[in-house]
């Protein structure tokens, strides 16, 4: 009888070891690890957008000093900035399609308004040669590059996370161990940005 119990115990230990090694091979911690990577990447996106937002008032004031008649464009930039900063970001924004889309639209409006402002500045040689404007323009260009990098890193992190949640066996592990894990939203390209620009000479 003791022999039978010993065999059963050995079998159970072997089965547990097999299950444990199988779970280790499946990387049971992939979901929380990748979720943290998404959060870190999202924080960097927000950080870079905030950097851009902080530059806008000084840029608007500098342009205003040289281009009084461009009040419409200056107002657009100011209103787009206000609209973007007034949005209350829900805690689940990265897994909330509506909130994420609203955030993306607000930031696109800021980008569009800034683009129009910089295009208008081309008409004012004195503004284009102003050292303060040149410094702000350079900082803005650097920030736009940082935003692009932060968005790319976020997209990569989301892709890894979403793939983990949608592929087997990690999908099963996530459903069992992390039932609250949700697919994350990612940035898209607007229809206007996808259209080929028309060049006229």
Residue at 196 is within a domain: no
Per-residue confidence band for 201, with pLDDT thresholds at 50, 70 and 90: very low
Examine the pLDDT at 154 and tell me if it is beyond 80: yes
The rounded distance, in Å, linking the Cα atoms of 81 and 200 is 32
CA distances from 182 to 34, 69, 176, 185 (A): 12, 49, 13, 10
On whether residue 8 sits in a domain, the answer given is no
Tell me how many domains the chain contains: 1
Preceding amide of 169 cis, omega within 30: yes
Each residue of 38-96: pLDDT tens digit? 999 999 999 999 999 999 999 999 998 888 778 899 999 999 999 999 999 999 999 99
- The pTM for the full model equals 0.81
Cα–Cα distance for residue pair 67/57, rounded to 1 Å: 15
Give the gyration radius of the chain's Cα atoms. Answer: 26
pLDDT the model gives residue 5: 74
**CATH number of the domain where residue 116 is located:** 1.20.1440.20
In this structure, the chain runs to a length of 201
Encode pLDDT of 95-149 as tens digits.
Answer: 999 999 999 999 999 999 999 999 988 889 888 889 999 999 999 999 999 999 9
């Amino acid at each position: 009888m003791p022999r039978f119990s010993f065999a059963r115990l050995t079998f159970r230990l072997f089965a547990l070891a097999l299950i444990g090694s199988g779970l280790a091979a499946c990387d049971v911690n992939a979901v929380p690890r990748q979720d943290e990577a998404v959060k870190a990447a999202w924080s960097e996106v927000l950080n870079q957008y905030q950097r851009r937002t902080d530059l806008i008032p000084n840029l608007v004031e500098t342009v205003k000093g040289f281009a009084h008649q461009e009040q419409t464009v200056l107002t657009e930039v100011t209103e787009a900035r206000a609209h973007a900063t007034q949005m209350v970001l829900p805690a689940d924004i990265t897994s909330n399609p509506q909130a994420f889309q609203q955030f993306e639209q607000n930031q696109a409006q800021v980008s569009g308004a800034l683009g129009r402002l910089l295009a208008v500045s081309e008409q004012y040689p004195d503004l284009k040669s102003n050292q303060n404007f040149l410094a702000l323009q350079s900082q803005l260009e650097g920030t736009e590059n940082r935003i692009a990098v932060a968005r790319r890193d976020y997209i990569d992190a989301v892709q890894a996370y979403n793939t983990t949640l949608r592929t087997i066996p990690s999908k099963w592990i996530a459903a069992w161990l992390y039932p609250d894990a949700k697919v994350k939203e990612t940035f898209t390209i607007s229809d206007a940005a996808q259209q080929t620009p028309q060049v006229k000479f």
